[in-house]
Structure 1
Amino acid sequence: MLLSWLLAGGLLAATPPADTTDVPKRSFAAALGYGSNSTYFGRSQAVAFPYAAATLTYAAKSGLYGSVEFYNLLNTPTALDETDLTVGWDHDLSKTADLALSYSHFLFPTNSELVKSSVSNALDIGLGQDWGAFYSRLSATYLFGSAASKGDGFLVLENSRSFETKRGFGQHDYFAVEPVVSIAAGTQAFGETALTKRNKGRGTLPVARSVRRFGLVDYEFGMPVSYYVGKLELSAGWRYVVPVNLPADDVESRALSIWSLGATVTF
């Protein structure tokens, strides 16, 4: 889900499924973005954390790619609040089906207040199918690392529909809108780690939680809009995140309306 929207919170608008009739090309992309708040699998903090981000991505003809992302929370004194390193592979199985594999490593300052800071690594596999009327993607994610030693597993189902204009303000530009609905289910060890750290800092007694139970964790509704002209993509997006099955002492995660802006240049 984090990986579906710039891997960490939906900074950039989702793009339509790749046209499998195209010959794969080598590419390099640089992106800048802004988000009004930060969430991770429906879990968030009481204080809003608006952020700015910069991303560099290189993709080979084989479908292999690598990216590095830098995040700065705009209301903290730290200059670099998160760094994500990702390697992956995208492959078209047919004209309507695709496969995506990726591994990500996350770096945070020691005193980070982000819920996501309890996670060190993520493995993702996604299968997509274009049904014509809409596009579906089923993704499986495994979170692991020293900060979340118990590990977490998630399944995310997304359904979207892409609408494109034939042209925008000129002959070589166009707009794309892709409303998306997703539902995620999984375990919550990463959330337990974040809550324990948060409560310890406040002097609160430990709480027993059923974090190993697999269940629904959130629903999301999104409306990303992109404008393409030449090698430039400008995007704006809105998404509404609804967390469910929260631990009794998680009084900070709540339904959030999040806005984002982004600009990407691809060479």
Structure 2
Amino acid sequence: MRFTSLVILICITSFKVQAQQDSIKKTTITLAALYSSNVSYYGQATNEKLPYVLVNATVRFPIGIYLSGGSYKLLNYGSGISETDIGAGFDHDFNDNFSTGIAYTRSFFPENSPLLQASNENNLNLSVKYAWPWIKTSLSTDYAFGKQDDIFISLAHSKEIGIGTLFNEKNTLTLEPAIELVAGTRHFYESYTIEKSKREKSNGKGKSPVSPGNSNSTITTTVSSDSFNILSYNFKLPLSLSRANYLAEISYQLSLLGPKAEAELKRQQSFFGLAFYYQF
């Protein structure tokens, strides 16, 4: 939500303009607008390309509690809102290097949604972050539940590299390459396949896909949904320009699926994104 690495709250709840250290001493409001060339659900994407835009608002209080709400619009699917999220969470910094967080997100999807995550309307996230001398490490666990239940674990390493300034010393350019490994279960894919079959039938595209060796099945899966396997390897390269109250970002992500990925998911996918954040 993160559609990441959904998800989930799309990293807006940890707004990157943290250079202004006084922001943690007062209530802040962060507004965000994002564009992505495709939907990524923990690095996974369907064969159908779904570019989208997102708007979000997050209110963060000095004690570490925050509230967030946002809406997504798929640019090539339907005429209404494609997803609405509301969430709440709590972050705690033990020191300059070590922090933890807990967050809950409730998502609302329209009927016949083409999104992989449409059956998991709820998401509970636990995260731990540690800044080593040379890299930052993040370990995140998500329990996604609703019509289906899934567990996802993400391990990421990143390195913030200061490039310099643009126009004047107040505009800072930063590059933060990251690698991420995601593992989890696949119950969400069962619901996605069923809903996809319904959409194809209603559009007159014929019979639903059939699993090899089972002519009575309408669900296409390659591994057990209960199996906990590698879902994706993600390589991220965001370039950001920040000032006192805003941050603009352009990003690229390359995702490679694990060896037991479903046939209808793209095994290699590139994502391009643009984002703008403003904090009051």
Question: Which TM-score applies when normalising by structure 1?
Answer: 0.89
In the alignment, structure 2 segments of 5+ residues that lack a partner are 201-206, 209-216
Q: Give 2:97's aligned residue.
A: 96
8 Å Cα contact 1:21-1:95 kept in structure 2: no
Q: How big is each residue's C-alpha offset from its partner over 1:133-168, in whole Å with a ceiling of 9 and x where there is no partner? A: 0000011110111x21xx111110000000124533
Q: Whose Rg is larger? A: 2
8 Å Cα contact 1:9-1:39 kept in structure 2: no
**Cα distance change of structure 1 residues 9 and 122 upon mapping to structure 2, 3 Å threshold:** closer
**Cα distance change of structure 1 residues 5 and 15 upon mapping to structure 2, 3 Å threshold:** farther
- Residues in 2 aligned to 1:242 and 1:69: alpha-carbon distance in whole angstroms: 28
SS in 2 for 1:223: strand
Q: Give 1:194's aligned residue.
A: 192
SS in 1 for 2:190: helix
Q: Give 2:279's aligned residue.
A: 266
Q: How big is each residue's C-alpha offset from its partner over 1:41-97, in whole Å with a ceiling of 9 and x where there is no partner? A: 233222211111101010000110011111111112322101111101111012210
8 Å Cα contact 1:86-1:102 kept in structure 2: yes
8 Å Cα contact 1:119-1:143 kept in structure 2: yes
- Residues in 2 aligned to 1:61 and 1:206: alpha-carbon distance in whole angstroms: 51
Give identity over the alignment, percent: 25
Q: Is 1:154 aligned to residue 152 of structure 2?
A: yes
Q: Give 1:220's aligned residue.
A: 234
Q: Give 2:264's aligned residue.
A: 251
Q: Give 2:2's aligned residue.
A: 2
Offset at residue 254 of structure 1 (A):
2.8
- In structure 2, give the amino acid aligned to 1:30: L
- Residues in 1 aligned to 2:198 and 2:48: alpha-carbon distance in whole angstroms: 18
1:98-137 matched pairs, under 5 angstroms = 98-137=99-138
Question: Which TM-score applies when normalising by structure 2?
Answer: 0.85
- In structure 1, give the amino acid aligned to 2:153: L
SS in 2 for 1:195: helix
**Cα distance change of structure 1 residues 154 and 243 upon mapping to structure 2, 3 Å threshold:** same
- In structure 1, give the amino acid aligned to 2:252: W
Bigger drift between 109-118 and 133-142 goes to 109-118
Bigger drift between 36-45 and 129-138 goes to 36-45
Offset at residue 113 of structure 1 (A):
0.8
- Residues in 1 aligned to 2:175 and 2:104: alpha-carbon distance in whole angstroms: 28
- In structure 1, give the amino acid aligned to 2:103: S
8 Å Cα contact 2:125-2:143 kept in structure 1: yes
Q: Give 1:185's aligned residue.
A: 183
SS in 1 for 2:195: helix
Query: RMSD value over aligned CA atoms?
Result: 2.5
- Residues in 1 aligned to 2:186 and 2:248: alpha-carbon distance in whole angstroms: 35
SS in 1 for 2:196: helix
- In structure 2, give the amino acid aligned to 1:222: K
- Residues in 1 aligned to 2:11 and 2:123: alpha-carbon distance in whole angstroms: 19
Q: How big is each residue's C-alpha offset from its partner over 1:114-146, in whole Å with a ceiling of 9 and x where there is no partner? A: 11212110000000010010000011110111x
1:15-94 matched pairs, under 5 angstroms = 24-94=25-95
In the alignment, structure 1 segments of 5+ residues that lack a partner are none
**Cα distance change of structure 1 residues 243 and 191 upon mapping to structure 2, 3 Å threshold:** same
